[in-house]
Structure 1
Amino acid sequence: MKQKNYKQTLLACYLGFVIQAISANFLPLLYITFHKSYGIGFGKLALLSTEFFLTQLVVDFICAKIVDKIGYRPCIIVAQITSALGIAGLAFMPDMLPSPFVGIAICVFIYAIGSGLIEVLCSPIVEACPFENKEGAMSLLHSFYCWGFAGVIIFSTLFFTIFGIENWKILAIIWSIIPIYNTYNFAKCPIEKLVEDGNSMTMGQLLKTKVFWLFILLMIGAGASEISLAQWASAFAESALHVSKATGDLIGPCGFAIFMGLSRALYGKFGEKVNLTVFMALSGIMCLGCYLVAGITKIPVLGLISCALCGFSVGIMWPGSISISSSILKRGGTALFAFLALAGDLGGSIGPFVVGSVSQKLGDNLQAGVLSGIAFPIILVVSVLLLRNKYKEHHRS
């Protein structure tokens, strides 16, 4: 019998997270451009981030009910197709409709469906593969979101520098090629079931489990801590720190992404030697410090450094939260992963909206908006500390 090539499965899931990074982070690089060329205010631009994560949130909830019935493969292929259509649509839809904002919002909705499916499905697909050190594999998987995030910024900055930011629509078409290619990968790679039929917990059982709600709170804190600064880092560096767009993007959001990927890759390699809950609690405290520095400093270089270091602090939060939850509720199945993604997206929708709204109310002061984000790492740290003993018990068993 031919041996299954799970490396092909890993490649497809790695690219899946790269595609999610494109979906989440390409548009925010254009916020200032949309603000100037289309006259869209920061409050409206914040709604695009909220729309993206709320759409993912709805997809997460639906996935909890239907993915096991339909199967992983058809759903993950649909994810690639909708991602490609939404990203490519950015090149056309804003100018095809009377309101450019509506055109952009439609594209965000389409590729957010794909991103939501990727988020729910790639983690359990990798978890179901017969690998040792599942926590390390999960962290390494999520590091590809970071490398995709950094790649989006670096390649986009080079493209804008050479061809001009006015040609951003061509770049949207280029980015859409990756999910088209990954459709083939997911059509061919081996995909296993996470939990055998009939053995996984139902939605009702999960909702009645007390510790499950702590997982939800943990993921809300993780999502908000990560996404709030990631989504606004480009605009924050340009408007609040008064540095050029190229400098701001490369040092701010790109530094954020690289340090976040480094954190996840290091845990993926050395995670077996580190206590996950201690690492996450210390990371949350570091994240709080980064938000404080970014929110109050008057020195641009300190603001940029704090953005980059914040990436390292949030790196373990999302994959670590998934690892803690799946190790305690081993029969959680697809429904657990879907609800965790839902909670992370809820945090990811609330966080950027709070930052953008506070900024607008205080006269488009993005620094004050960033300062308001200190509540999110506090939520994460408290949740980790509450879960620490349970994780130690289940990790030993």
Structure 2
Amino acid sequence: MTPTATRRACYTGYVVQAVVNNLAPLLFIVFQRRYDVPLDVLGRLVLLNFATQLVTDVVAVKVVDRIGYRVPLVLAHALAATGLLLLAAGPQWGPSPAAGLAVAVVVYAVGGGLLEVLVSPVVEALPSPAEAKAAQMSLLHSFYCWGQVAVVVGTTLLLAAVGEEDWPLLPVLWALVPLVNLVVFTRVPLPATVPDEHRTSLRALLRAPAFTAVLLLMLAAGAAELTMSQWSSLYAEQGLGAAKVTGDLAGPALFAVLMGVGRTVYGLWGSRIPLVPALTASGVLAAACYVVAAVSESPAAGLVGCAACGLAVALLWPGAFSLAAARFPLGGAAMFGVLAVAGDAGGALGPWAAGALAEASTTSTGVLQQISEALPADDGSGLRVGLLLAVVFPLLVVVAAAGFAALHRRRALPAG
């Protein structure tokens, strides 16, 4: 088998990660209606997913460069499939519906965390021209988006077809994707990891101001992307009053399509576009999208804000990876693992903070209540408040990109 087969398996690996990150939020309304799981607990499931991925990233940083890529890649797919199967059974077999769901989330999140650490450095190490590295990283990450599109559209349509009572069929069907790719990763050729004596140490990375700027960018990128992605389905239905099928297709599905388009376009023509200015523009556009989604009285305008945010955040995560890889080419899998820790920390804290602020705004008598009263009326979920205050995340992207640009000018570092 050829490196092309390896690259394709990596593409599918990001589809698997899209499944484990996006399937459960599409079922939040089912969990809420059928099992009385409250909104703040659903937000904690998102937090648990990305917190588990974060812990997995930290552990993987210490071992992947020493044991190689194959074993942890196969394990990642096995855990993803197992977790999805547990998700189907979770509300029935656990001590409580929330506890059963939490166990399933932890299992597949370990698989997702391993994929985040492993897939990008594998593709980065495959033979390709240096000037095309950033574009290929963006193309790789576009498959996360196309996987998200498939999950949102497929799950929404299947759920409408089979009915909420048969929802467990959906995670069982999606578990087939990691099971098939598991077999592929037992056969494809994989590059060697960077030896310890050649690899830039984590201590050196963490002391470098440029790497600190990229870590902040990753933290903000994870929060900006996942907050909108994770809450847009429920917000479209409860905050904007859209029907579930309409809301899912016009909100999170179109979000994923536009994110995929943005990454694919940069993957094809990215060598012509300076990376740091593109990241800055992306942060500004994402901030505008959050504001539009939160303050629009028109459901259609709100859905446009949710969906357009996908295009705005498209470049953030792969762009941060590319900045680090260009500046520290011998960082190895450990460097990608640390970056994934920052991204997953943002992916955990962002959706959780938005959910917590939304919940708090429904009972607050202080500033949150004033903000809520100033926004258009919704169903009382408080999600408008959560999304409006989440604008801080894309604004942090702008700050981090500006910091990296200043360091680039000062030290003449490659910026992509």
Range into which the TM-score falls when normalised by the shorter chain? over 0.9
Partners of 2:65 and 2:332 within 8 A in 1: no
Give 1:395's aligned residue: 414
Trace 1:1-397 onto structure 2 (pairs within 5 A). 5-132=2-129, 133-363=132-362, 364-391=381-408, 393-395=412-414
Q: Output the amino acid matched with 1:380.
A: V
SS for the counterpart of 1:91 is helix
Superposed displacement of residue 40, structure 1? 1.0
Partners of 2:52 and 2:106 within 8 A in 1: yes
State the distance in 1 between where 2:415 and 2:161 align: 54
Superposed displacement of residue 194, structure 1? 4.7
Q: Output the amino acid matched with 2:343.
A: G
* Bigger shift: residues 358-367 or 145-154: 358-367
Superposed displacement of residue 124, structure 1? 0.2
State the distance in 2 between where 1:116 and 1:9 align: 19
Partners of 1:43 and 1:356 within 8 A in 2: yes
SS for the counterpart of 1:395 is coil
State the distance in 1 between where 2:404 and 2:208 align: 14
State the distance in 1 between where 2:407 and 2:332 align: 19
Superposed displacement of residue 68, structure 1? 1.3
Distance 1:137 1:181, change over 3 A: same
TM-score (structure 2 length as normaliser): 0.92
Please give the root-mean-square deviation of Cα atoms over the aligned residues, in Å.
1.3
Q: Output the amino acid matched with 1:298.
A: E
Partners of 2:66 and 2:193 within 8 A in 1: no
Superposed displacement of residue 71, structure 1? 1.2
SS for the counterpart of 1:60 is helix
Q: Output the amino acid matched with 2:211.
A: F
State the distance in 2 between where 1:135 and 1:320 align: 7
State the distance in 2 between where 1:199 and 1:380 align: 31
SS for the counterpart of 1:53 is helix
* Bigger shift: residues 148-157 or 91-100: 91-100
Q: Output the amino acid matched with 1:348.
A: G
State the distance in 2 between where 1:389 and 1:330 align: 20
TM-score (structure 1 length as normaliser): 0.97
Q: Output the amino acid matched with 1:366.
A: L
State the distance in 1 between where 2:295 and 2:88 align: 37
Partners of 2:225 and 2:347 within 8 A in 1: yes
Q: Output the amino acid matched with 2:390.
A: G
State the distance in 2 between where 1:197 and 1:41 align: 48
Q: Output the amino acid matched with 2:135.
A: G
Superposed displacement of residue 389, structure 1? 4.7
State the distance in 1 between where 2:353 and 2:84 align: 25
State the distance in 1 between where 2:117 and 2:81 align: 18
State the distance in 2 between where 1:8 and 1:217 align: 34
Q: Output the amino acid matched with 1:329.
A: F
Residues 192-238 of structure 1: CA deviation (Å, up to 9, x unaligned) = 12534520022222222232221211100110000000000100000
Residues 16-50 of structure 1: CA deviation (Å, up to 9, x unaligned) = 00010000000001111111111111111000000
Partners of 1:9 and 1:189 within 8 A in 2: yes
% identical aligned pairs: 39
